[in-house]
Chains A and B, each alone.
Chain A
Amino acid sequence: MSPLINIQKINTIFANRVGIFCYMLWKSAALSAYDMFSYYLVFCLQREKKNLQDLNGVFVFNVAEREHLDRPTARLIKEFDCIEESFMREIGSQYGIVPGSRENSLYSALWVAQALLRKGSIKTADKRILLFTNEDDPFGSLQDAAKKDMTRTTLQRAKDAQDLGISIELLPLSRPDSEFNVSTFYADLIGLDGEDLAQFMPSASQKLEDMKDQLRKRMFTKRVVRRIEFQIANGLSIELNTYALIRPTVPGAITWLDSVTNHPLKTERSLICEDTGALIQEPPKLFQPYRNENVKFLPVEIAEIKRISPGKLRLLGFKPLSCLKDYYNLRPSTFVYPSDQEVVGSTCIFIALHRSMLKHNRFAVAYYGASYHPQLVALVAQDEITSAGAQMEPPGMHMIYLPYADDIRDDEEIFPDTEEDAPRADEDQIQKAAALIKRIYVKDFSAFQFANPALQRHYAVLQALALAEDDIPETIDETAPDEEGLTRPAVVRAAEAFKHSVYGDSYDEESDMGKEKMSEASRKRKAIAENAAKDYDWGNLADKGQLKNLTVGDLKVYLNAHNLTVSGKKEALISRILTHMGK
Chain B
Amino acid sequence: MARNKEKLVLLLDVGPSMHGVLSEVEKLCSMLVEKKLIFSKYDELGVVVFGTEESKNDLTTEVGGYQNITVLQDIKVVDGDLVDTLQKLPRGRVDGDFLDAIVVGMDMLIKKYKDLHKGKKRLCLITNAIHPIKDSFEGSKEDQVMTIAEQMAAQGMKIESIVVRGRLSRDANKGVMDENDHLLSIFSKKTHTRIVYVDTPTSLLGALKTRRVTPVTVFRGHLELSPHMKIKVWVYKKTQEEKFPTLKKYSEKAPASNKLATHQVKVSYEYKSVDGSSTSVIPPEQRIKGYRYGPQVVPISTAEWDAVKFKPEKGIKVLGFTDASKIKRHCYMKDVYLFIAEPGNTRATLAVSAIARAMKEMNAVAILRCVWRQGQQNVVVGVLTPNISQNYKIPDSFYFNVLPFAEDVREYQFPSFNSFPASWQPNDQQQKAADELVQMLDLAPSGKEALLPEFTPNPVLERFYRHLELKAKQPDAAVPPLDETLKNIVEPDPELVAENKSVFDALHRHFELRQNPKLKKSSRQWYQEKQSGSNAHVSSGQAVNSIENQPPVKIEKIGDLTPVQDFEAMMSQRDNPEWVEKAIKELREKILALLIHSDEGDKYQKAVECVAALRKGCILEQEPGPYNDLMHHIRQYCEEKGIKSLPQLLASRDLTLISNDVTAEEARSFFVKMEPKPDV
Contacts and interface: CB of A to CB of B under 8 A. Distances in A.
B239 A409 contact: yes
Given A257-B288, A262-B288, A444-B326, 8 more contacts: A264-B274, A267-B271, A287-B263, A345-B511, A404-B458, A424-B350, A454-B310, A492-B226
A431 B358 CA distance: 7
Interface residues of A, number: 230
Contacts of A320: 444
A164 B613 CA distance: 11
Given A265-B282, A351-B425, A276 B254 contact: yes
Contact of B293 (A425, A430, A463): A463
Given A156-B664, A236-B507, A408-B454, A416 B192 contact: yes
A272 interface: yes
B270 A268 contact: yes
Interface stretch (A2-10, A197-205, A305-313, A547-555): A305-313
B394 A416 contact: yes
A430 B412 CA distance: 42
A412 B387 contact: yes
Contact of B191 (A115, A292, A418, A452): A418
A330 B239 contact: yes
8 contacts: A263-B273, A327-B336, A405-B206, A409-B215, A412-B236, A433-B355, A447-B383, A466-B298
B668 to A, nearest CB: 7
B267 A269 contact: yes
Contacts of B310: 453-454, 457-458, 475, 477
Nearest to B668: A152
B456 interface: yes
Contacts of B190: 418
A504 B347 contact: yes
B138 interface: no
A342 interface: yes
B492 A316 contact: yes
Contacts of B423: 348
Interface string A325-364: 1111111110101001111111111011111110110101
Contacts of B244: 306
Given A74-B293, A236-B511, A452-B407, A425 B253 contact: no
Nearest to B79: A291
Contacts of B523: 227
Contacts, number: 708
A546 interface: no
Contacts of A324: 329
B293 A422 contact: no
B265 interface: yes
Contacts of B241: 330, 403, 407
Interface in A443-497: 443-455, 457-458, 461-463, 465-466, 472, 475, 477, 479-483, 486-487, 491-492, 495-496
Nearest to A35: B295
Contact of A149 (B416, B527, B665): B665
B364 A441 contact: yes
Contacts of A292: 80
A260 B286 CA distance: 7
B536 interface: no
A30 B297 CA distance: 11
Interface string B451-467: 10111111111011001
Given A310-B531, A354-B417, A73 B351 contact: no
B344 A295 contact: no
Contact of A496 (B210, B228, B381, B616): B228
Contacts of B267: 269-272
Contact of A315 (B252, B426, B492): B492
A264 B416 contact: no
Nearest to B228: A495
A278 interface: yes
Given A275-B254, A376-B451, A514-B342, A344 B297 contact: no
A142 B267 CA distance: 73
B409 A163 contact: no
A284 B472 contact: no
A261 interface: yes
A317 B441 contact: yes
A425 to B, nearest CB: 4
Contact of B351 (A217, A360, A503): A503
A324 B329 CA distance: 9
A326 B349 CA distance: 21
B192 A437 contact: no
Given A369-B490, A376-B453, A499-B229, A348 B472 contact: no
B493 A317 contact: yes
B375 interface: no
A271 B664 contact: no
Interface string A376-394: 1000101010100001011
Contacts of B240: 407, 409
Interface in A91-129: 111, 115, 118, 122
A229 B528 CA distance: 11
A492 B229 CA distance: 9
B344 to A, nearest CB: 5
B213 interface: yes
A64 interface: no
Contacts of B207: 405
A152 B443 contact: no
B434 A217 contact: no
B616 A265 contact: no
A304 B538 CA distance: 13
A550 B493 CA distance: 67
A182 to B, nearest CB: 22
A68 interface: no
B269 to A, nearest CB: 6
Chain B: interface secondary structure?
A: mixed
Interface string B401-444: 10111111110111011001001111000110111011101111
Contacts of B605: none
Interface stretch (B164-172, B313-321, B635-643): B313-321
A477 B227 CA distance: 18
A447 B417 contact: no
A342 B515 contact: yes
B134 interface: no
B382 to A, nearest CB: 10
Contacts of A386: 416
Given A122-B572, A360-B435, A409-B239, A450 B226 contact: no
B395 interface: yes
A395 B417 contact: yes
Contacts of B290: 254-257, 262, 264
B20 interface: no
Interface string B500-531: 00001001100111111001001110010001
Interface stretch (A42-50, A243-251, A532-540, A575-583): A243-251
Contacts of A475: 310
B93 interface: no
Nearest to A368: B490
A452 B210 contact: no
Contacts of B349: 422-423
Interface in B186-212: 190-192, 194, 206-207, 209-211
Given A309-B490, A457-B310, A429 B354 contact: yes
Contact of A365 (B347, B359, B412, B443): B443
B516 to A, nearest CB: 5
Contacts of B399: 326-327
A472 B471 CA distance: 60
B353 A233 contact: no
Contacts of A398: 329-330
Interface string A505-533: 00101000110010000000000000000
A222 B514 CA distance: 27
A237 B524 CA distance: 13
Nearest to A509: B230
Interface in B625-680: 658-660, 663-665, 667-668
